Structure 1
């Protein structure tokens, strides 16, 4: 039986062009072990959640992302911390994706990492995001956790990681995530 590459999709909680979290997501993609392919999902066009809109049908922009998540073997969420919690637009995206009995996070392996310019590296956002992902029945990787604090000192102007320890932490998490995807697949039978 021929094996295929693992399909991993990424959701970045920051839409800013020079986002440290986008840089961290690229680092995560580059750090995945051999046999994995990565696609960063562009979700800028997702509208604000509105149950009246949902009653008329799922917006095409949401349907497209739901299908990418559904088809993926795993999801990497990389996010900053806004006001001690989840960025509003990222929470909005999760709210849209989680609607319906066929929501794509159920049973899906998820890895979370965060980057901030402060010293804690997004610890609070990760705890809040873990609660949300638990509610949507995602299979969140518990350890290793990756909090990239003082991110402005860990990436250069071209977005490359310049901090060896950060690179090692992210690589260890991506290896653990690849193994977690395999483990979740075995649990499903």
Structure 2
């Protein structure tokens, strides 16, 4: 593939050693040569969405998030499940990315949602909620991507040492790239 594809990964767990961060790192490390997966590091500094704050000049953290989303070809959300739904930082990023209404930085952008969670359903509810929210925000949800990792099944192994998970994450990135209209 001659063109390069830029994917920004939003990680729903802010913990430095979270399994979801490790999954995002796996996506970045396993991406094809012509694809970059950049883990967005600024979610902790983005204020909660408030229309009163959505005026110029924008908070620098909001401006950085919107610019990063707008410059990306696609978005990969890697999320745990908190109390049966998506973490606040993921929802907040989606809310800021949905504005200005009808022309936000997520508009028509391919978005895939994957993640790891403690529960036996492997974060299914948080992934469904994130997909729903992204779709309403104007993103193009890549429904073919479904990677849910039940952390209890890792048995203490790093995700990078579980071959079936490595392949699922690589496949998710490939499907996301395909939704951009590129091939790997």
CA-atom RMSD in angstroms? 2.0
Displacement of 1:169 after TM fit? 1.2
Structure 2 gap segments, 5+ residues each = none
Displacement of 1:88 after TM fit? 1.4
Following superposition, which runs of at least 4 residues in structure 1 exceed 6 angstroms of deviation? none
| CA shift in 2, pair 1:137/1:49, >3 Å | closer
Q: Which residue of 2 aligns with 1:141?
A: 142
Whether 1:161 and 2:160 are equivalent positions in the alignment is yes
Structure 1 gap segments, 5+ residues each = 184-189
Q: Which residue of 2 aligns with 1:130?
A: 131
Displacement of 1:49 after TM fit? 2.0
Structure 2 length-normalised TM? 0.89
Displacement of 1:162 after TM fit? 1.6
Separation (CA, whole Å) in 2 of partners of 1:4 and 1:94: 27
Q: Which residue of 1 aligns with 2:88?
A: 88
Q: Deviations over 1:120-163 (max 9, x none)?
A: 1110011111110110121111113100112672664xx55221
Structure 1 length-normalised TM? 0.87
Separation (CA, whole Å) in 1 of partners of 2:172 and 2:54: 36
Asked if 2 retains the 8 angstrom alpha-carbon contact of 1:73 and 1:109, the reply is yes
Asked if 2 retains the 8 angstrom alpha-carbon contact of 1:79 and 1:115, the reply is yes
User: Helix, strand or coil: the match of 2:58?
Assistant: coil
